């Protein structure tokens, strides 16, 4: 079977070395030494000033919303994973969907302005497939209209724009370290900000508001992560560049076949250093996509419809939107298998099947 992705697992003996230290210290969670070590290592690797390691990418978004004290309406994208929207609803905010750019699949800045009302407090935009949003346009709108900006960078680990980490943009950026991501801690995520005051607020938020054993500075939840997860992250971080390099070569192999494909790939700007987190293709029509998925599944190959359905169709979202581009792409987008142990022979087989379906 060829799944859409497989988690990278390092040599087990490297992980076991960290486990022995955890056993000796008997310090399993609550901001242990490995959590601190991982945070420092991630800041160094990503070249950013402030980062907190948290439970997962969804909690990261919820912490960002709380830290910025957001209320009312938040402009966001209908083309993302469900956690982007569900986090807003969970925190009592109202998602206001704005359509996406058909070339990049990211939120279209030209449509944000008309969606702003006196009740709008922020913009929550996703770097879809790790492909950066038009951050300069979004930040300009936010500054002019006095709005906060959160970037959901769940897919964007290691991505840079003009040589600068994509996590440097906005008031807060979040990331997911879920097992399916190219850098993972099994479960985990992060919040990133340039503002030390926001960082301090989120540090309280992720640990019940504790300010010492018997004092509480503010409201908080349990957004911490464990030493075991940090250990996996510390081992995996050593392999990230290698993983990205392999995924790049595999993506280039896919690219050779895409030239004969009835569809397109999302456009990535030339000043972006991409991480090859996904290999998405957008079919010319849904009928062809469904037939391709069916045939691939019959051959034990399992791509994934990232992201379907359009989030404006969620049953707990009550705003009636008209995001025609997002709805169309959601019906036609498919992520093909991509992981570090995939072979070029398997890619050739996958595309032979796609082209056979397409040409029949």
* 344-359 vs 240-258: helix crossing angle, rounded to 10: 30
Q: Is the Cβ–Cβ distance between 106 and 135 less than 8 Å?
A: no
Domain limits, the chain? 12-237, 242-359
User: Given this model, what pLDDT does residue 181 score?
Assistant: 97
Q: What is the third-level CATH fold of 242-359? A: 3.90.1150
The pLDDT tens digits for 328-360 are 999 999 999 999 999 999 999 999 999 999 988
**Is the pTM of the predicted complex or chain greater than 0.85?**
yes
The SS3 call for residue 54 is: strand
Q: How far apart are CA 253 and CA 354, in angstroms?
A: 15
The CATH code of the domain at 12-237 is 3.40.640.10
191 closest CA partner among 229, 240, 148, 153? 153
Examine the pLDDT at 144 and tell me if it is beyond 90.
yes
Examine the pLDDT at 319 and tell me if it is beyond 80.
no
């Amino acid at each position: 079977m060829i799944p859409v992705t497989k988690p990278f697992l390092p040599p087990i003996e490297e992980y076991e070395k960290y486990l022995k230290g955890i056993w000796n210290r008997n310090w399993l969670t609550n901001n242990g030494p490995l959590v601190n070590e991982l945070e420092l290592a991630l800041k160094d690797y990503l070249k950013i000033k402030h980062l907190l390691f948290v439970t997962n990418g969804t909690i990261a978004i919820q912490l960002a919303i709380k830290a910025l004290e957001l209320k009312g309406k938040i402009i966001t994208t209908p083309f993302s994973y469900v956690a982007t929207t569900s986090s807003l609803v969970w925190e009592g905010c109202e998602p206001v969907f704005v359509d996406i750019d058909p070339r990049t699949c990211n939120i279209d800045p030209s449509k944000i302005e008309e969606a702003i009302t006196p009740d709008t407090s922020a913009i929550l935009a996703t770097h879809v497939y790790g492909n950066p949003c038009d951050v300069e346009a979004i930040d300009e709108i936010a500054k002019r209209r006095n709005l906060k900006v959160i970037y959901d960078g769940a897919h964007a680990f290691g991505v840079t724009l003009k040589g600068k980490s994509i996590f440097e943009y906005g008031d807060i950026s979040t990331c997911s370290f879920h097992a399916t991501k190219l850098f993972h801690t099994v479960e985990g995520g992060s919040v990133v900000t340039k503002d030390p005051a926001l960082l301090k607020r989120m540090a309280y938020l992720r640990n019940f508001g504790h300010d010492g054993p018997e004092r509480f500075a503010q409201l908080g939840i349990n957004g911490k992560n464990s030493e075991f997860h940090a250990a996996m992250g510390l081992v995996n971080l050593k392999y990230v560049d290698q993983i990205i390099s392999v995924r790049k070569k595999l993506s280039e192999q896919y690219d050779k076949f895409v030239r004969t494909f009835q569809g397109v790939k999302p456009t990535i700007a030339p000043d972006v250093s991409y991480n090859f987190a996904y290999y998405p293709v957008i079919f010319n029509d849904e009928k062809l996509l469904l037939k391709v998925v069916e045939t691939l599944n019959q051959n034990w190959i399992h791509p994934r419809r990232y992201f379907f359905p359009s989030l404006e169709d969620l049953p707990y979202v009550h705003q009636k939107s008209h995001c025609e581009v997002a709805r169309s792409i959601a019906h036609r987008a498919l992520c093909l298998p991509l992981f570090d142990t995939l072979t070029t022979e398997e890619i050739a087989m996958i595309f032979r099947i796609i082209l056979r379906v397409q040409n029949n």
